Amino acid sequence: MPSVFTWTVRVYYEDTDAGGIVYYANYLKFFERARTEWLRSLGIDQHTLRDEHGALFVVRNASVDYVASARLDDEVKLTLNVEKLGRASVEFDQQAWRGDTLLASADVRVGCIDAVTMRPRSLPDLAAAKMRAA
């Protein structure tokens, strides 16, 4: 799946640690926002998935490599590429950039679960079709 999605965030004071750099765990929040905005760009509403299809997305695994630091007021460009679309999961390659400098990269696997039982389930057909089309 060659299509790369891009979303930009600004680093706020609340994103930084005592040293004035982005606290490492906040990159996970940034990557989460990019995945949410990617779904929105596809016309996939997570409330609708839950309420009408009984499906939720949960992170199954995340591996992050931290390369360089972002600081207060930096614009961070987040990229997202779907590496694999499975029956009940999606694997993402995500990166955070400041200009031409790679800040962090992550491999994230998201699973689809039933909203009631919290057990794995297949992706809703409509969502899977939109993801494949992208």
Whole-angstrom distance between the N-terminal and C-terminal Cα of the chain?
8
The H or E element spanning position 32 is helix 26-41
Alpha carbon separation from 117 to 86, 89, 95, 114, 125 (Å, rounded): 20, 17, 33, 6, 19
17 flagged as catalytic: yes
Torsion-angle region of 50 (φ positive above 0: left; ψ -120 to 50: alpha; else: beta):
alpha
Q: From the candidates 17, 45, 65, 73, which is the catalytic residue?
A: 17
Report, as residue numbers or ranges, the catalytic residues. 17
